[in-house]
Structure 1
């Protein structure tokens, strides 16, 4: 039976069809940074103080009233989270003896410098409620976890195409819906669903592009889609700078996803997935269409060899832990992805903590990613994936450990200021070391199943890292070979 990789070579590994597919994937990738990083622009800290009314009607100026109701810091500015405890005495007694007892704000806060409502000012995410911002971001990340666990298997069941379409609809609908949230609890729930759909869409899009693009061009395709994400981060800075009303900002950042409704007609399915599901006729038609777009022809005898594998027992995620080599790789990759996400989001979600203009910082963050991602095209082919992943994790870990100017992971910083820095650095360093235990996947086709190719002792050919060992009558010879597993 012919391997799918051989069919893909006849179709064209990165022709017009694949380039069109990469472009289709780039568009939602350009739009997704809003959902990940957008909240930080509508919860920026602003000057505030307790709302007080117990001295109203006494013919006082605003400054006089604030001096009598709000305590001051040593630098002369107003306290943001405390107020003087109201008393029954007359104004003359208050002016003569003053007030000493203080308490937390009882009737909300005043934001004198805010012209447009933000998420922070509308839901009062200040003082004792300030942690709700970090908690909401954590819940959004929990949505990513749930989305990966739910939509990953769903993509395998219904195919990447339909999975992407469903997740685009969810992201757009609940993203826009969050702009109409009546309270912060509803907002958090909607954000959780958006996070889940984003995770599922990311997995489905990566799978779809990897299954259509040949091994030599796989890194190029993924890097291009990631660069569109970096461009989206740069555009996010402009959107946030232009729209200050948080509800309009939420709608403006989410609604463009609905423009992608035409994906129903143009987004292709995965021919590889169709073959694994026994839909060989559909797979052949799709492969012939792709070859036609690439101005190539698949030999009839080659296409006729395409057939589904023998019916195998349905698998599950637990199968990844039943075989030693899969268990080892799975556990390592779990930690590597954890380290990548922790360090990347730990820095990116706190661009406001650098002491610079938040909009310019976001613009720079996006711009820096473009050359760094483009350089991966050459580094991945030169050094391979394993060494690159290990090197960047180790470098990131070292930087987090030794450079003190690291953004804080807000909740942990209140326990001890060294925790965020140590956590980011140690996690990345461990991940970098573990990468050396992974196999190299450079220039290798995707494997269609979980089995390791085994060979017999006599008359067998074993291909390992580009070397072919031939065992015949006890004699072993070695020869180089361009191998695509």
Structure 2
């Protein structure tokens, strides 16, 4: 029996799938908390230079354009108007609350450090993407997930104890690294336990929960204004996962690909029992078990089974090389660039929320709310036309909107009108790029064969993290080059949309088991292969018609006595 058939028989949307879905939803919520919490942990309260000892604020700090200077004080308040950089600041934390900026004076010459803090957790994501997938491929998804989850919670809580920016940055980096070792196997586990007809519908829910989590985070940040307590509260999703994560099953596909037939059988039976499936067969994978003379399938150990399946099983890290061989190489390169672009553009919009006119908490809430309808629209499109078209359409639409953001300041003089239009375009841009994220996760799961799915997903997310990693730095460069960030993102989006045309569509397809399955997909489901096949079919039909027509004419002429 095929695995998808077994999952159907064991209730395709039973308690096992719902438990994995709940874990994935909590993990996606924590994903948003971890990545974008820096908006609140490292927010900059109103501040100005502190006055000299023995002098008033008016005597010590220049008053320029209706406010006191933020980076300069008078060098000699009594005898000179010359200024010098200040080394002490006053932060108005009564309303804004405490942040790492106010605790460690990350302003003026050190104002780039909050962006570095954002980049460090994303750099951790990159390192985690290198390690998480191969470790899960070698040792299994469940043990990798459970051990990493415990470490992640310990490190995450330790962030609140940081006494300086260096410790804060190191711990955030470690959080990002370990986070990927939890999320990558968990996401793949969710898709592996879903049959094709539920994969896109259920698979979108964790992403929606991530967006809901961002909305919730804006409310939590509004209520909890001290960054240390805020960080602890934001660890709640993964802390709650500790309650039931040990009940999660191992990947059956992984067990089969490694030759652990007995283990796969046991896991499948436990899933069926947990789902309370009726009349489930006692043996599911007997026909996939290597037969040995004199031994029944029940008497063959997993070690012997693995030895017999060794030629078919992928052994550890050395098989990562398959990611760089055609046609997997095309999938690796195209999805990597697409994910790099999606993360760059998404974080580009998300991290500029604070620059929009109005209350920062409300702006963050509204921009996060945009993700929810975008995810629902993306789900509808995926169900109707597959994953590839929404990916390309979202990239192109985002590029067009960013071009408008670049050129509108040159066309509109009224600042109020311009501010409203730019805010609207920014929200529409985030909507557009959010359309691409669910299809990306589905394509990562659907286009990599089972034995290298974790490694392939890790590679894509590793390279994709370059986009999110560089987003804070690209945005910071806008201080020196106006709209450079949007210009870079436009070029990346258009290139990614063009390259995505090389990929096959995965609508109504089963998850791939081997590289040969991927070759078949490329031969039948890409835009170019379809056109080629249609042309060949047309030529074949034309040839058949001509031959049939000529034969009929010859027979007719013979009947009439002409030949």
- Name 1:90's counterpart in structure 2: none
CA distance in 2: counterparts of 1:194 and 1:454, whole angstroms: 38
Structure 1 residues 225 and 76, CA gap change in structure 2 (3 angstroms): closer
Unaligned stretches of 5+ residues in structure 2: 290-304, 407-421, 427-471, 534-539, 542-563
Residues 465, 340 of structure 1: alpha-carbon distance in 2 compared, 3 angstrom cutoff: closer
SS at match of 1:49: strand
> Structure 2 vs 1, CA of residues 247 and 234 (structure 1 numbering), >3 Å: closer, same or farther?
same
C-alpha contact (below 8 Å) 1:12/1:291 kept by paired residues: yes
1:268 and 2:249 are equivalent in the alignment: yes
Any gaps of 5 or more consecutive residues in structure 1?
Answer: 88-93, 456-461, 470-475, 478-485
- Residues 18/415 of structure 1: CA separation in 2 closer, same or farther (3 Å cut): same
TM-score, structure 1 length as denominator? 0.84
Are 1:413 and 2:478 matched, yes or no?
yes
The corresponding residue for 1:243 is 224
Q: How does 1:433-472 map to 2 (within 5 A)?
A: 433-452=498-517, 464-465=524-525
Q: Determine the structure 2 residue equivalent to 1:45.
A: 44
Residue in structure 2 matching 1:86, options 76, 79, 93: 76
Q: Quote the Cα distance in structure 1 between the aligned partners of 2:147 and 2:136.
A: 10
Please give the alpha-carbon distance, in whole angstroms, between the structure 2 residues aligned to 1:155 and 1:453.
22
Paired position in structure 1 for 2:168: 187
SS of the counterpart of 2:287?
coil
Q: Tell me, in whole angstroms, the C-alpha distance in 1 between the residues paired with 2:192 and 2:360.
A: 39
2: CA distance, partners of 1:22 / 1:294? 18
In the TM superposition, what whole-angstrom CA distance separates every residue of 1:35-74 from its partner, at most 9, and x where no partner exists?
Answer: 11111113323222223434x1xxx6xxxx222211121x
- Measured after TM superposition, the shift of residue 168 of structure 1 is 2.1
Q: 1:424 aligns with which of 489, 493, 503?
A: 489
> 1:179 aligns to what SS in structure 2?
helix
**For the aligned residues, what is the CA RMSD?**
2.6
Equivalent of residue 346 in structure 1, options 345, 348, 351:
348
- Report which of the two has the higher share of helix: 2
Q: Which residue of 1 aligns with 2:19?
A: 20
Match of residue 81 from structure 2: 100
Q: Following the alignment from structure 1 to structure 2, what is the Cα–Cα distance between the partners of residues 453 and 344?
A: 29
* CA shift for structure 1 position 226: 1.0
Q: CA 1:365/1:168 → structure 2, altered by over 3 Å: closer, same or farther?
A: farther
Tell me, yes or no, if the aligned pair for 2:42 and 2:114 is still in contact at 8 Å: yes
Could you say which residue in structure 1 is the equivalent of 2:110?
Answer: 129
The SS at the match of 1:144 is: helix
Distance 1:318 1:27, change over 3 A: same
Q: 2:179 & 2:491 partners in 1: Cα distance? A: 28
Q: After TM superposition, give the deviation of residue 264 of structure 1 in Å.
A: 4.3
1:319 aligns with 2:322: yes
Secondary structure, aligned partner of 1:356: coil
Per the TM alignment, residue 252 of structure 1 is displaced from its structure 2 partner at its CA by 1.7
Q: How does 1:355-434 map to 2 (within 5 A)?
A: 355-404=357-406, 405=422, 409-434=474-499
Number of equivalences: 443
Matches within 5 A, 1:195-214: 195-214=176-195
